[in-house]
Amino acid sequence: MSSVDTVTAREVFAGAQDFTVGIEEEFAILDPATLELAPRFDDLNRAAARDPVLAASISSELILSEIEIRSGRNESFADAVVAQRDVRRRLFALAHGRGAALGATGTHPFSDYREQRFIDTEHYRRVAEGLQYVAKRNNTFSLHVHVGVRGADRAVRVCDRLRPVLPLLLAISANSPYLDARDSGLHSSRSQVFTKSFPRCGVPDTFGGWAAYAEYVDFLVRTRSILEFTQVWWSIRPHFAFGTVEVRICDAQSTAAESEGLAALMTACVAQAARDEDEDVPFVDLAPRLIEENVWRAIRFGLDGELVDLERGETYPAPEAIERLLGWTAPMRAELGLDVVLPELNGAQRQRRMIDAGAPLEEVYAAVVRETRDTYAQEVAA
């Protein structure tokens, strides 16, 4: 299938299975002594070839100091977590054995983006050539979740329904207060660098169905704006190859438990939106300018600020976003057995508490890397 074949993509969605789950986690590859970004992807990828499970689960990203692992398609969220935990253990053991460390925050706090090298593949050469500074500047790390949704029209309408939910998920996931060796004053500087810079990124328009979405993608191809559908980098999108709705709004999470809790919540949101669509639950098509107010609040203040109830025009404490999403998704969480457990403070809040207490940047990041190692790696020796 051509990567922008909208006709075949519709057929993929017609054969898709509801509520399959795939988890994708991105990690920074680090020098264990300095915790600087280290361009070691090719080295780790070659070493992983001796482990067929790991080799099949690793993916490159834009820069050589980044690595992604994927659970693959699973029948349930529980199966996806089991698969991802296995791959994590293998990756962290491999990195430890090769003298590398791994970090999981939305941005690296102090490595110079100008010194990072791109992955040498056709896809990323195209991205680098096409985006120039925008690509070079994007040293960011995310958590993505794919949820199977049967039917192309239904998948697009699920994306439509989830537009106002995206800023809430971003606030909950915020985990990148540092950028360029400075306190950015933001909770998700990753979103400012990536979402606000890349073309065809952020919260998408409402399309109403597959015909309008396919028309837009065909327009991009016809005008030579894109060569691959993945060059539409929106924070939520129908995935042509997998027949899934892919949620892409969240920062990478510093602990395995947070990553799993957030992935469960994203899965629940997609499933609930699909069920609401099936049951014709009323849906308010909010203007992009309104949703963007909450996107900014999530970027700037995360869970330490306030969000806006966009239908009522009233503010509420940002931590209430968790309760609101849990309340809305309760039916599908019960049906799918999704257990959402999140800490009292998210990653950005924990880092900010250390910053406010006077801890230097290097100390804060070292603490975060320890959290990552101790929770994702499990049995890997310190």
Residue 171, C-beta contacts closer than 8 angstroms, at least 6 positions apart:
187, 294, 297, 298, 301, 302, 303, 305, 307, 318, 321
Q: Does residue 150 register a pLDDT over 50?
A: yes
Q: So where are the chain's domains? A: 6-377
- Phi, psi of 276, rounded to the nearest 5 degrees: -60, -40
Residue 335: C-alpha distances to residues 71, 217, 246, 278 (Å):
22, 34, 21, 15
Q: Among candidates 209, 242, 225, which has minimal Cα distance to 8?
A: 242
- Among 123-132, 160-169, 337-346, where is mean pLDDT lowest? 123-132
Q: Does residue 381 register a pLDDT over 70?
A: no
Better-scored residue on pLDDT, 365 or 381: 365
Q: Please tell me the class of the 6-377 domain.
A: alpha beta
- Residues of the chain with pLDDT > 90, as a percent, come to 89
* Euclidean distance between CA atoms 306 and 294, whole angstroms: 9
| SS3 category, 226 | coil
Q: Does residue 151 register a pLDDT over 60?
A: yes
Q: Are 9 and 237 in contact (CB under 8 A)?
A: no
Q: Are 25 and 161 in contact (CB under 8 A)?
A: no
The pLDDT, as a whole number, for residue 123 is 84
| Number of residues written out for the chain | 382
For the stretch 278-314, pLDDT in tens is 999 999 999 999 999 999 999 999 999 999 999 999 9
Taking residues 148-154, what's their average pLDDT?
A: 98
- Phi, psi of 183, rounded to the nearest 5 degrees: -75, 115
Q: For 153-198, give the DSSP string.
A: HHHHHHHHHHGGGHHHHHHHH--B-EETTEE-S-SBHHHHHTTTTS
* Euclidean distance between CA atoms 64 and 45, whole angstroms: 11
Query: Which tokens hold the place of 330?
Result: 């309760």
The pLDDT, as a whole number, for residue 1 is 36
